Structures are given as C-alpha cells and as structure tokens.
Structure 1
C-alpha cells in the first residue's frame, strides 16, 4: 500500500499545539506515557496468548527496550507486545482527529480556569502525543502479533501525518523520537543521556511488571575485537511489594520502601496492606510513621500517598486518597484504572476516587484499633505523636466519627500516668452518673487546679483533661459517646449525683432566697461584663468562678476562631458564687446590713477579677484590679 498523507483538521491542530505547549507541567512524563503504553501492549499480548493457543506470537521474552543515540539525537522506545494493525493505527493513533474535537475545543474555550481545562482534556486518551513536547518528528512502526505485515506512522506534529505499510516490521511497536536540538544550558533535559533516562524510569516506571532495558556502553575490548560493546541494563526493579503476597515480603523490604518514599530514617510504626477486588480493583500499602515530622501542622506540609495506575507512577502526595486528619500516613496506592486527565497529573473526582478515599480511611482506623489491643505500646506511641491530628477528624469526618472516638485516648484524673479511652471511662462511671465529664485547658496542671474541678474532686468523679487546641473544637461538635452525653465541667449548671443528700432541695431553695439580693445587686454592679450571677454547686474551696452557658462558645474557642479570621461575638460569662465561702458570706452580710455600697462595689469587682484570674484570664483593667487588691491588703494589715 502506498504512503498516504492525512491532514489534521484545524481543531485537531489547535488541540495538538495546546497539549504540547500547555498541558504538561513536566516534560519528563512523555517517557512515562510511552513506557506505560508499551507495558499495556505486553499485558494484552500475554492475555491474548493465554486465550488463544494458536496465536503465532513470541512470548518467550516480553520486555521494553530504550535506545538513545546522542549523535543522531534520537530516542527509541520498543516493545514486543501485541502491536497494532493498519486500521488500529489509523483509529487509535489518530484519535486526536476524531469528530469530538470541535465540541471539546468549544468547551475548552468556555472554561474559565486552567484546572477546568485540564479536567475537560481528561476525555481524550492522547498521552502518546506528549512525545512532541521533546521531538520535532515521531515515527511509529508496529506489527500486530499473528500478522505478517506492519504499519509505519509518521508526523512532525504540525498539520499532517503519514501512513504506509511496512514489510519488515518486528512484532510489537517501535516509537522513534527525533529529538529537538540540545540546549547546552539545560542538560537536565537531555533525553539521550543514560543517567537522565535511568532517573525518569526509576521515578515513574520502577514497578512496571516487565523489564525495561537500555543498551549501555561497555569498556572497549570486551567483545574480543577491541571495539566497545553495548550491554543491556535493566532499569526498573519490577518489585511492587504491594502486588506480592505477605509471605513473600520481609519486614525489612517494607521498611526500605517506606524510607524511600517518606525520606524518613526510622522504621515505620505500622504497615497496612489492602487489596480491593471486584468491579474496581486496587492495592494499597500504607505506613504509619513512628514519629511526627516537625512541620506536620504547618500550612505547606505535603500530605497524601503516592498514586500508581497499573504500577505506573502518576503523582506524589495524592491528597484525594486520604482525609487531612490522616496526612501523616505514607504509602502507595496502585489502581487498575482511574479517570485521569491527559497528563495524569490531576485526578477527576469520580466515584472510584471517593470509594478509595472512604475505604482507605476506614482501613487505617481499623488498623489503629487493632493496635490498641495487639500492640498497646505502639498504639501509645501513635497517639502521643499523632493524636492531635486524628482528633481533627472528629470535627471534619462525621462518617468515621464513631470509629475515631473508639481509638481516641485522653488524659484523666483517674490515672496521672496513663491515658484512658472513652470506653474505659464509661465502664468506670459511678452509679447514677449520666454524663462523660471533661475540661479543656492549656495544661494538665492548670485544669487540675481550676475551681471548676472542686466538686468533682470532692465526689471522686473522673474528669477527662483535654489540653490540645483541637479539643476546644471537637468537644463543641461531638454530643455523646455510647449514649452518654459529653459535658464540660466549665459550662452550664451542674446537678451532680449526691447533691440532694449533701444539700436537700429545701436547703438549696432557702439559700437562694438568702442570697437573692446579693445576686441581683452584683449583676447590676458588674453590668455587661457578665450574663448572670448565681450560686454554684461546683465550688467547694474557691469563692467564685466563671462558667459559660450551655450553648455558648468558651473564651478559648472564641480566640481560636478569631485567630482563624472568623469574626465571632464575645459571649457573656456566668459568675458563680460559693455560698459556703467566707468572702461570699461576708459580702452578703454587709449588703444586708446596708454597709458602704461604694466599698462593696469594689469588693464585687475584686471577686469577679479573682474568678477571671482563676481560669487563666486577665482582668479587664489590670492596673485598677491591682490597685484595689493592694488597698484591701493594706487595710487587712
């Protein structure tokens, strides 16, 4: 058949130029695309040979060859796979000129954002044409396995391409790139350099099933006649640990892979394997590090795992596969098929991605739960290093909230050394206790010394001590655990078990009447600084404390939201007075005896300031508070 020349349509030429100059952010990926296509061709031949034992094809040494010629500036990628017929070349390699191109370009022109444009391009499988990023001309010679005649396709990527039959064509496909002139100032993109080709194959195609070979120069004389011989060098390891059975892989091999992909010097804390089968198949090999990186909480921290498709490297730090609260997890996910854009650099948000995201998160959390019983020491290390990050999921991941609560541990008044799980807390609850009590603060010491803890300490009621900044947020989101409400000891009114025995209802009512005038008067004196003044059931030693209303934000949470740029109104606090404290009794008696109201107003201000200081706050007017306090001390002396 004579050589035929075909002309690309105008739209196809525009699309080709766009892809060559705009889509790919890294030109190195052209070799990844060619090697990936070659690997697919080898897979197809192996499958065809299994299905048809009469197929006239050589499957004894399936492989991929890479040849570079620095003088001629050519790069050849060859496989001995399934190959293509003349009609298949016209259809598959000419896909870029199909009838949908015009419609696609119209959508492309309407896309406002570059990311939107790349998403649209994902409809077309034209990775082969990335070769024109680095080549002035591309020639393809191919022969389908079982056929005797081959096909030659050639184009300069401008306006036309040629098709002709080729009588002398080996089985498989050979693609020769006539590279663009070398740039002497940029040797990093010299695609005839053996080290550069090794680097690209190692990065993108190391786990390809088939050997990728490159002929390299051997020392002169090795072939016996003094000439330099060329020896084949296998560039890829072909060791995809996630594709091998667990019995075939040693822990040292897993650890070596983890250190390679994470750049960590320590062994991982836990190795997690997952193999999903069915309509959508993928394999995952995930690692939990043994220590948190220093930049884990910085905005620029790179999270995500490596993504492969059929063992071909697609991208580092694939954020779409794991939620942000699992950003410390490292590893590899290898899918059989995914909806990718033409450069394979941006994932389309389809149901497969969402499916993997959910499954991987659940797998990691189930593995953490297994560590709690099977390896408590390693679990303790994990929670110490990554507990604050995992607790972010209590706010953001409602689907896995119960699983996260089940694997969470917290400091507690029950044990000064060992944290507790919520399940353990519930099992230790006193008879009649109906809530899980907690308190947030800057440190364990500050919480334990808080006035809010006095009644709980007196009654021996366990309280969770939450000191991570994220605790302020998730406790405002999570309402209960195992049917038991989570209740802050510093919010709302408390009715602790045993109150009726300690102070019967009639006694409490009598007390309220006794202090009614004081409560009303102090509210008038303090004005907008507080919402309410009431008697306290949580104080046994301190004269007063400030609490937040049940549904109000705590001051710490208000400050946290403001630091994040959110404008939240400042909530008024409730001042609680201890009716058994000498200061409160004296103030009430003086008010009833009609003592100097101006002096009493200063006493009320001091009492409020003491409550502010007790919770680690700062009086509204520190200088005035100090002056009043000094005057009172002077009088006492």
Structure 2
C-alpha cells in the first residue's frame, strides 16, 4: 500500500506546537509517557492472551526496550505488546479522542511543573515526544497480524502525518524519536538510566536499556568468543508489582512514585491505604486520594475513572467502576483478587457476588482513609484541601449510600453563622457543631440559599442569631437534594431556618413569648387588614417569631413540597413549577410595616401590602413573577 498523507485534527496541530514550545526544565516527561504507553500495550496483550494464548506464543517474554543511536541521533522505545493495525494507528496517533483536549490546551502554559503534570492527566502522552523530537516514526505490528501487515506512521509535528503498511518481523511497537540537535543529552546512557529509574521503577514489566560496552570492555571481549547481543541489554527498573509487597516494606516515596505511574498525576496524593486481605474474600487493594480534583470529575459519568483490576496479578481492565460507588469516583488505585476468573468481563462484574462483596469492602477502606485524614488534627490543611476538591462529590453519598450515611455525615464540613465570621478557611463538622451548641439546643439548624451572600444575610437567621444559635449555611446546588435525605445526626433532628415551626423548645424565652402573644393580639386588626388586601396571594398573615431587623418574610408549611432552592433549580431547567401559597410573617415594630399600616388610602395600602409581600419573596427566592409590577408599585409609593 502506498504511503498516505493525512492532516491532524485542529486540536492536535495546536497541541503539537504548544508542547514543542512550553516545556523546558521538565523535558524528560516524554520518556515516562512513552514507557507508560508501552507498559499499557503489554498489559493489554497479557489480558487478551488469557483466552487467546497464541497471541503471545511468538515472543512470550514480555519487555520494554530503550535504545539510543548516537550516530543516527535517534532514541527508540520498543515493546512486544498488543501492537496496532494501520486503522488503529491513524485513529490513535492522528486524533485525540479525549473530550478534554480544549480544556487541556487552555491550561497548558509556560509553567513547566503545571504543564508536565497535565500531559498524562489529559491522555495526550504520546504527543509529548515532540518536546524533544523534530520527527517521530512509529513502526507497529498487531498481535496476530502477519509480518507484511505492519504499519509505519511518521510525522514532523507540523500539521500532517504519513502512514502506510510495511513489513515488521516481530510483534509490538517501536517509537523512534529523531531528536532535535539541542536534545542529544537523551542519547547518554546515564541520563536515560536516571530518567527511567525516576519515573518507571514500579512498572511491573521489565524495562531494558541498551548500553554499549566501554572501550576497555570491548578489548576484554576481543579475547573471548563473540558475546550474545543480549549482553548489552541491562534491566533498569525493579519490575516488581508494588502492591504485592508488604506495606511495611514500602517507603512513602515509593507509594508516591507508584501513584504517579498509576494515574499520570504528578502531584502528590493526600493519602493512601494499602491492604492485603485473606480469608472468605482474598484481595489486595492500594487506594489513593488525589491532591486535586481531576478536570473531568463532574463530566460524563461514563468517562469517570474507576480502579484498575488485576486478577492473580494479571491486568484485566482499566476504569473498573463496579468496585466503588459513584460518590467515591475520585478515589484512584487498584484491586488485585484471586476470587474472580481471568476472563471476567464488564458485564459479569455487574452481576458477580464477589464484586458486590469487594465493593462493600473497598467502600469501607475508602471511608476509613477519608475519616483518618479528617481526624488528623496535626495536619488540618490536608483535609481542607480534600474538602475543597471533593466535598461536593462526597455529599452525593448521603443520598446514594444510606448504609454509610452516618459515616459520610461525620466527614462533611459546613460553613455556618459562626464560621463566616471567622473567615473562609473555617468550616465546622457536625460533631463540632453539636459539641459547642447550648445545652438547651436539641436541634441542628440549617439554611439553604442560592448564594453564599444570600445565606449570610438571610432574614430567616435573625432570631436564631439573637439567641446565639449557630446555623449551618448551604448554597451548593446539591445541598437541597442532600438535606432532603437527612432526618437526624447523633440523635438530633435537622430543622430549616425557613420552616414554619423553628422548634426552639428550651431555647424559647418565656418572657419573649408572652410579649409576642400580646403583640399578636394588638396586631390582630392589622393582620386582618393585610389578609384582606392580599387576598388569595397568601395562605395567611401572622406576627413573626423569627424577625428582628427585617420587615417581613414568607414561610411554607413544614411539609411543603418545594423549597425556594428547588424552585430555582426547576425554573433554571425550564421545568414547570407548581403553585404553592405561603404565609406572610411581619415584624409589627419595623418602620416599613408601621408606615404601611398608617396608610388610610385603601388603594395605596393595597400597593403597600403587595410590596411587603414581594420584598419577602425577593429575599427568599431571589426572583419575582412580575418584577415590572413590583417596580411600578414601589416607584408610585416612593413618589406619592
């Protein structure tokens, strides 16, 4: 077949240009990515050969080789893994399937450390070869293909690539980098050995480096019989599966290095848990909490990362989502078990009782790890980092995982009326909230609003603040859904600050209650007048027990179907919102109320009543059905 010239995707062409010009001090990232890709190709072959052993029979000793040719100025990374067909080479090397490419391009910068961390995370590792090479040639033969069905792919990274069929004697892939003139340091054995050891020591496939004999070694060899070519290949990495070692034999730096290899995230993990279990269920797990959220944490669930699955130390699949619930999708790592068959499929995983047991066990391990991080009083900043990155995802578990709800609630952190005063860095756990509550307080009070500012300045907090009652403040979109699933924690019920009955119990002041009753009696005629003016716009009107500085607020019944936050979410989604009437609560001592009640013109009084109600709705919901009517009435009253 004649060679064909193809154009790169627009995104790929941009990427190649940026990669070639963005990284300087971290140029060696290309080698870790290409070796990691080679390792993946070998893992895939190892898996396929379980059911098709003939695929690996031709060359059964799996390995990765790195060889520098100083005369030609090339560096070759070879593997005898799964290989590629011509169509696969065009698809995988000519395009970027990852939907996050544009996001990657927007984040790539001249910040070397930041850029090098993003390369693997966004699935564009192969293209990092163009950091040091002005041309890359790929020769590959797929497992099971004939020698003359191999493919040759090449590009100088300027916008096009060439591909054609060729002849290749052995299975696997050779990536040949034609190094730029100023990148020839990567032809030195010492540089290559140091880089491979730094990034690839924990790859379970042996990585061999070709090291030509020194001059004195050559003289010694001349006295002997010709040596085998294998004599100049030296294994560089340990090639031990780290998770198979005893945790006491693994150093922290080794765990961090393995995390980098496993995830392509070159930041440090916040925590990890390494467990080996024997008995009814036999498995080894190595789980990590990343230091920051991946770019696609809230993206398509189908693209979320799961755990790597090994069976009897044989790699089976990436992103096995069956072993952790969705709310723990940020956990990275692997599970290796002897209790599943080597030919297990994704479909079988969904139905397996073993997988169900493993999911329960790994969920417990993950929550143990999160709890341990939360309870580390000597390193509070670590948990704050965790919460900022993954707190919203963890909240999903309150609804999704009732069996572990209490444990998850224990790990949640909240802003509150007290922590807001202390600054953004201060958050409170439910245990801390209960511990510092007055003895007379039997409930946990919370308020959900559309924004932080709306929560902080809500009129519904006034009486609770006056009584020095701490209120949890929530404004994330998920909070409404989450709080609807919670009834109590540690024996204390939750009460919304917007509820019709605040259930103050012993917090209620008897003298205040008596004064409020007198106030209600005195205001009865005014209440009736307001009810008449508002008609069917309200369920009723009453003197408020919660207002101190504000003139009015609206409250629904305790069993109200929709809260203000839910209404906002439905309206934003274009969904119909059912009509519900509210009770208007007034503060008779507020100047606006006294001014309205002093109005003798009944038409103007009706406008006052409408404005008081609309102001209350505006404070509660952030919107009005008829904002123009509100402005017109308000202007008329101000100018009258």
Aligned to 1:428: 436
Q: Is the 8 A contact 1:65 1:213 kept in 2?
A: no
Change (3 A) 1:214 1:346: farther
Change (3 A) 1:613 1:348: closer
Partner Cα separation in structure 2 for residue 256 and residue 27 of structure 1: 20
1:66-95 deviations in Å (ceiling 9; x for gaps): 599xxxxxx999xxxxxxxxxxxxxxxxxx
Partner Cα separation in structure 2 for residue 188 and residue 283 of structure 1: 43
Q: Is the 8 A contact 1:287 1:330 kept in 2?
A: yes
Q: Tell me the secondary structure at the aligned position of residue 492 of structure 1.
A: coil
2:606 pairs with 1:597: no
Partner Cα separation in structure 2 for residue 613 and residue 580 of structure 1: 21
Q: Is the 8 A contact 2:586 2:593 kept in 1?
A: yes
- For residues 509-588 of structure 1, the aligned pairs below 5 Å read 509-552=517-560, 553-561=562-570, 569-588=578-597
2:193 pairs with 1:192: no
1:343-383 deviations in Å (ceiling 9; x for gaps): 67862421111111111112221222222332323122211
> Which structure has the greater CA radius of gyration?
1
2:253 pairs with 1:257: no
Q: Is the 8 A contact 1:315 1:345 kept in 2?
A: no
Aligned to 1:329: 331
Aligned to 1:626: 631
Q: Is the 8 A contact 1:311 1:334 kept in 2?
A: yes
Aligned to 2:48: 33
Aligned to 2:395: 391
The Cα shift of 1:489 comes to 0.4
Equivalences, count: 475
Aligned to 1:278: 279
Change (3 A) 1:208 1:508: closer
Aligned to 1:360: 362
Partner Cα separation in structure 1 for residue 289 and residue 384 of structure 2: 13
The Cα shift of 1:295 comes to 3.0
Deviates more, 1:536-545 or 1:309-318: 309-318
Aligned to 1:501: 510
Aligned to 2:499: 491
Change (3 A) 1:236 1:266: closer
Q: TM-score scaled to structure 2, two decimals?
A: 0.65
| Aligned pair partner of 2:314 in 312, 315, 334 | 312
| Aligned pair partner of 2:305 in 303, 325, 328 | 303
Partner Cα separation in structure 1 for residue 344 and residue 359 of structure 2: 22
Change (3 A) 1:180 1:524: farther
Partner Cα separation in structure 2 for residue 235 and residue 500 of structure 1: 76
RMSD (Å), alpha carbons: 4.0
Partner Cα separation in structure 2 for residue 448 and residue 603 of structure 1: 27
| Aligned pair partner of 1:65 in 47, 61, 65 | 61
Partner Cα separation in structure 2 for residue 480 and residue 557 of structure 1: 21
Change (3 A) 1:457 1:227: closer
Aligned to 1:119: none
Q: Which has the higher helix share?
A: 2
Q: Tell me the secondary structure at the aligned position of residue 403 of structure 2.
A: coil
Q: Is the 8 A contact 1:217 1:230 kept in 2?
A: no
The Cα shift of 1:515 comes to 3.3
Change (3 A) 1:622 1:275: same
Aligned to 1:229: 229
Change (3 A) 1:385 1:187: farther
Q: Tell me the secondary structure at the aligned position of residue 65 of structure 1.
A: coil
Q: Tell me the secondary structure at the aligned position of residue 349 of structure 2.
A: coil
1:298-318 deviations in Å (ceiling 9; x for gaps): 236522121111222222221
Q: Tell me the secondary structure at the aligned position of residue 347 of structure 1.
A: helix
Partner Cα separation in structure 2 for residue 226 and residue 237 of structure 1: 29
Aligned to 1:123: none
Aligned to 2:158: none
Partner Cα separation in structure 2 for residue 448 and residue 578 of structure 1: 20
The Cα shift of 1:517 comes to 4.3
2:492 pairs with 1:454: no
Aligned to 1:19: none
Partner Cα separation in structure 2 for residue 239 and residue 607 of structure 1: 73
- For residues 21-100 of structure 1, the aligned pairs below 5 Å read 29-34=44-49, 65=61
Q: Is the 8 A contact 1:441 1:466 kept in 2?
A: yes
Q: Is the 8 A contact 2:283 2:336 kept in 1?
A: yes
Partner Cα separation in structure 2 for residue 516 and residue 180 of structure 1: 97
The Cα shift of 1:233 comes to 6.8
Partner Cα separation in structure 2 for residue 345 and residue 257 of structure 1: 29
1:14-35 deviations in Å (ceiling 9; x for gaps): xxxxxxxxxxxx9994543337
Change (3 A) 1:237 1:35: farther
Aligned to 1:292: 293
1:274-321 deviations in Å (ceiling 9; x for gaps): 222212211111111112233322236522121111222222221111
The Cα shift of 1:632 comes to 2.0
Change (3 A) 1:213 1:362: closer
2:615 pairs with 1:615: no
Stretches of structure 2 lacking an aligned partner (at least 5 in a row):
1-40, 54-58, 65-78, 82-141, 153-162, 177-200
Change (3 A) 1:76 1:491: closer
Q: Is the 8 A contact 2:148 2:166 kept in 1?
A: no
1:231-266 deviations in Å (ceiling 9; x for gaps): 577698532222111221111111111122222221
